[in-house]
Amino acid sequence: MSAHCFFSGELKQGDSQALLSPEESHHLAKVLRLKEGDEITILNGRGLTAKAILKASDGSSRHAQISCSIISETLSQPPCPAIRLYIAPPKGRNMDLLIKEAAELGVSRITPIICKYSVSRPDGGKSAWRQHLIVACKQSRNPWLPLIDEPMDFESALSAGSELDFLGAVPRPGYQSRKVNPEQAKLNGAALWIGPEGGFTEKEESALLDKGAAPITVGNWILRVETAVPALLGALYALLNTDRH
């Protein structure tokens, strides 16, 4: 059985000691009931994975911070190409699910976008979403914590991005497949745009196509957003790693 995984954004390469947050310490001591001498894994969200041995602590207080000794470390390279997910947040807890899926699939950055058909006030928020990302990285052992932006309107997001753009879409007449250069994506990064439950408007879709976004489809049907995110990310990864289109 692999060692339990924890997160410490303060951990740096070369550290001999690590101090877990009160929240992580409480979970370690009271929920998992780990003891002095147990081995754990620590991620810092910036590519560093460390193996550590727990020091003594009763963990009796929610404010207690458990320390541990680092015994080995591994520094992973950032995901390449870097994938940025532009997503219109759905209602309810579906956004929490989507950002967890994105973290498990190695997305580098998540930008919530407000489109015409979006819900007016996205549920959750950047701070809460970041906690879900941490949980997903610990579960998947992904050493790179995705960045997450504050929600921004569609036009601002479109003008700010510099990545190689791809549009999640349902097949329709007039769509043109495009030769994709994986090396260009590795250099500039790639972006996947997924609209709200009501879809992008014709104006929004035209703006993406005018920018050069290549439509990506995974079937002839309209997908729920929680289905579209993992399916289209998988299709994008396959597209960027093969010459067959």
**Torsion over CA: 88, 94, 99, 103 (sign):** negative
Mean pLDDT of 209-234: 89
Indicate the range of 80-84, 100-104, 161-165 predicted with least confidence: 161-165
Judged against a pLDDT cut of 70, whether residue 125 lies above it is answered with yes
Q: Specify the pLDDT at position 240.
A: 87
Q: Residue 242: which pLDDT band, with cuts at 50, 70 and 90?
A: very low
Judged against a pLDDT cut of 70, whether residue 101 lies above it is answered with yes
Q: Which residue has the higher pLDDT, 30 or 136?
A: 136
For 168-177, the pLDDT digits (tens) are: 887 676 666 6
Average pLDDT taken over every residue of the chain: 88
Most confident of 52-66, 126-140, 216-230: 126-140
Q: Domain segments of the chain: what residues?
A: 5-75, 83-240
Q: Specify the pLDDT at position 178.
A: 64
Mean pLDDT of 69-93: 93
Mean pLDDT of 103-118: 94
Q: Specify the pLDDT at position 245.
A: 36
Tell me the CATH number for domain 83-240: 3.40.1280.10
**Phi/psi class of residue 47: alpha, beta or left (left: φ > 0; alpha: ψ in -120 to 50)?**
left
Please answer whether residues 17 and 55 qualify as being in contact, where contact means their C-beta atoms are separated by less than 8 angstroms.
no
For 193-215, the pLDDT digits (tens) are: 999 988 899 999 999 999 989 89
Please answer whether residues 23 and 66 qualify as being in contact, where contact means their C-beta atoms are separated by less than 8 angstroms.
no
Please answer whether residues 25 and 57 qualify as being in contact, where contact means their C-beta atoms are separated by less than 8 angstroms.
yes
Q: Which residue has the higher pLDDT, 100 or 57?
A: 100
Q: Residue 244: which pLDDT band, with cuts at 50, 70 and 90?
A: very low
The β-bridge relationship of strands 152-153 and 147-148 is unpaired
3-state secondary structure the chain: CCCCEEECCCCCCCCCEEECCHHHHHHHHHHCCCCCCCEEEEECCECEEEEEEECCCCCCCCCCCCEEEEEEEEECCCCCCCEEEEECCCCCCHHHHHHHHHHHCCCCEEEEEECCCCCCCCCCCHHHHHHHHHHHHHHHCCCECCEECCCEEHHHHHHHCCCEEEEECCCCCCCCCCCCCHHHHHHHCEEEEECCCCCCCHHHHHHHHHCCCEEECCCCCCCCHHHHHHHHHHHHHHHHCCCCC
Judged against a pLDDT cut of 50, whether residue 127 lies above it is answered with yes
Instruction: Say which CATH superfamily domain 5-75 falls into.
Output: Hypothetical PUA domain-like; domain 1 (2.40.240.20)
Judged against a pLDDT cut of 70, whether residue 88 lies above it is answered with yes
Mean pLDDT of 178-205: 86
Look at the chain and count its residues.
245
